[in-house]
């Protein structure tokens, strides 16, 4: 594919500085870009090196100018570069149609331009929207509802009665709607608690590879609009994850907990059962949250505390051996004074 700088500027809604007729045939990283490539420079580090770049064109912030280079000025260079990447490298998809090796149950309803790959199994009374792609070896159980423009990659299981919204992406190997981990003990054995609810995934959600999202005991486990999860995330029964929240790799959300909007749960962080995490919260990596976190807080540690306090505590930790030694020394001196006083 070849595009002029003017055509690219129209795609990213940017302003050209330089040769609008310059032909670009590839997007490339800043360090590797050649004369027929376009790249981006969104931070001071790369903007300071822009004269040394061999790129044919560079996407930069609006306020930046370098007359010796072909530039496209935009508000958000990285977002504009993503649009350019999508243009030069459109995602590949399945060919439309239903494979002869797919197993289709009774009462299944399809939308337009559906793609169902080999060895997919679809249960009874499933509803599938327009332009849905289901990749090889995935399983869609009875009475599942899937919206429009959904991609379900290989070896995904979407279990009974779960609901998937529009423009949802579920990466390979994820399980949506497995039973929650619920048991009640009589003192001798653990009795399994039935899980009769569902998982509901709203519009524009992306579920990473190898996620496990448990169905509710009653009602629903709810992944709200715009949520993005990394690989290997576990979400337990009856959890609600608020709009546009990010869950990073190996994060664990305990049963019946609620995560607010626009929050970030970082890698290997764990949220305990029945915990409320507010809006715009950041939970640092490897933290353990066991109580409510108010809106806007940044927390770290296990158990999690305010990040600033955690930093102070971490600063003290390596000094503890020295502090211990000094305390012993003070204790000896005090004992010596007490002995001399008695004499």
Q: Which CATH superfamily is domain 3-88 in?
A: MurE/MurF, N-terminal domain (3.40.1390.10)
So what's the pLDDT on residue 337? 83
Give the pLDDT confidence of 217-273 residue by residue, as tens digits.
999 999 999 999 999 999 999 999 999 999 999 999 999 999 999 999 999 999 999
Nearest-5° Cα angle at 157, 152 to 163: 70
Closest Cα partner for 24 from 6, 5, 49? 5
Length of the chain: 343
Give the pLDDT confidence of 215-231 residue by residue, as tens digits.
999 999 999 999 999 99
pLDDT band at 56 (very low <50, low <70, confident <90, very high): very high
Residue 339 pLDDT exceeds 90? no
Q: Which two tokens stand for residue 36?
A: 């027929």
Q: Stretch 306-317: mean pLDDT, rounded?
A: 92
Q: Which two tokens stand for residue 320?
A: 């503890």
Is the pTM value of this prediction over 0.85? yes
CA pseudo-torsion sign 107, 108, 110, 115: negative
Give the pLDDT confidence of 276-300 residue by residue, as tens digits.
999 999 999 999 999 999 999 999 9
Nearest-5° Cα angle at 186, 185 to 190: 35
| Phi-psi domain of 206 (left: phi exceeds 0; alpha: psi -120 through 50; beta: other) | beta
Give the pLDDT confidence of 120-173 residue by residue, as tens digits.
999 999 999 999 999 999 999 999 999 999 999 999 999 999 999 999 999 999
Q: Stretch 33-57: mean pLDDT, rounded?
A: 96
Q: From the CB of residue 324, how many other CB atoms can be counted at a distance below 10 Å?
A: 10
Percent of the chain's residues with pLDDT above 70:
99
Residue 342 pLDDT exceeds 70? no
Strand order, beta sheet including 145-146? 127-128, 145-146, 163-164, 198-201, 220-223, 240-241, 258-259, 276-277
Q: Stretch 45-51: mean pLDDT, rounded?
A: 95
Q: Where are the domains of the chain?
A: 3-88, 97-308, 310-343
So what's the pLDDT on residue 246? 98
CA atoms of 252 and 292, how far apart (whole Å) = 16
117 Cβ contact list (under 8 Å, min separation 6): 94, 99, 102, 133, 134, 135, 136, 138, 154
CA atoms of 104 and 275, how far apart (whole Å) = 41
Closest Cα partner for 273 from 300, 306, 234? 234
The CATH number of the structural domain formed by 97-308 is 2.160.10.10
CA atoms of 200 and 66, how far apart (whole Å) = 50
| Range 129-141 burial, b when 16+ CB lie within 10 A, else e | bebbbbbbbbbbb
CA atoms of 26 and 38, how far apart (whole Å) = 6
Give the pLDDT confidence of 60-109 residue by residue, as tens digits.
999 999 999 999 999 999 999 999 999 999 888 888 899 999 999 999 99
Higher pLDDT, 194 or 93: 194
Closest Cα partner for 64 from 79, 82, 45? 45
* Active-site residue flag, 307: no
Give me the chain's average pLDDT, please: 96
Helices 5-12 and 77-88, packing angle to 10 deg: 120
CB-CB contact of 271 with 277 (8 Å): yes
* 257 Cα distance to chain centroid: 18
So what's the pLDDT on residue 91? 80
**Options 37, 190, 237, 274, the catalytic residue:** 237
Q: Which two tokens stand for residue 171?
A: 């990466």
């Amino acid at each position: 594919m070849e595009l002029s700088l003017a055509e690219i500027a129209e795609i990213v809604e940017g302003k050209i500085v330089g040769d609008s007729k310059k032909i670009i045939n590839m997007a490339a990283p800043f360090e590797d870009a050649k004369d027929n490539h376009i790249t981006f420079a969104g931070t001071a580090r790369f903007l300071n090196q822009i004269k040394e770049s061999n790129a044919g064109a560079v996407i930069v912030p609006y306020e930046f100018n370098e007359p010796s280079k072909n530039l496209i000025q935009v508000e958000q260079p990285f977002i504009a570069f993503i649009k350019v990447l999508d243009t030069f490298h459109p995602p590949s998809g399945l060919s439309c149609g239903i494979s002869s090796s797919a197993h289709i149950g009774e009462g299944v309803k399809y939308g337009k331009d559906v793609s169902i790959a080999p060895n997919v199994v679809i249960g009874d009374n499933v509803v599938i929207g327009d332009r849905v792609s289901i990749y090889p070896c995935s399983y869609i159980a009875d009475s599942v509802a899937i919206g429009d423009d959904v991609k379900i990659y290989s070896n995904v299981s979407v279990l009974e009665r779960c609901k998937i919204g529009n423009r949802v992406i579920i990466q390979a190997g994820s399980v949506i709607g497995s039973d929650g981990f619920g048991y009640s003990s009589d003192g001798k054995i653990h009795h399994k608690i039935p899980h009769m609810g569902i998982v509901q995934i709203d519009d524009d959600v992306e579920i990473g590879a190898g996620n496990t999202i448990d169905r509710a005991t009653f009602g629903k486990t709810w992944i709200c609009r715009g949520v993005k999860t990394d690989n290997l995330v576990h979400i337990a029964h009856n959890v609600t994850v608020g709009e546009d929240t990010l869950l990073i790799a190996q994060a664990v959300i305990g049963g019946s907990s609620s995560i607010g909007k626009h929050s970030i749960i970082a890698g290997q962080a764990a949220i305990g059962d029945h915990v409320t995490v507010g809006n715009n919260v950041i939970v640092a990596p490897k933290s353990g949250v066991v109580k409510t976190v108010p809106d806007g807080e940044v927390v770290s540690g296990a158990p999690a505390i305010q990040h600033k306090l955690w930093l102070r505590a971490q600063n003290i930790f390596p000094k503890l051996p020295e502090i211990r030694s000094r305390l012993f020394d003070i204790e000896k001196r005090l004992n010596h004074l007490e002995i001399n006083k008695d004499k």
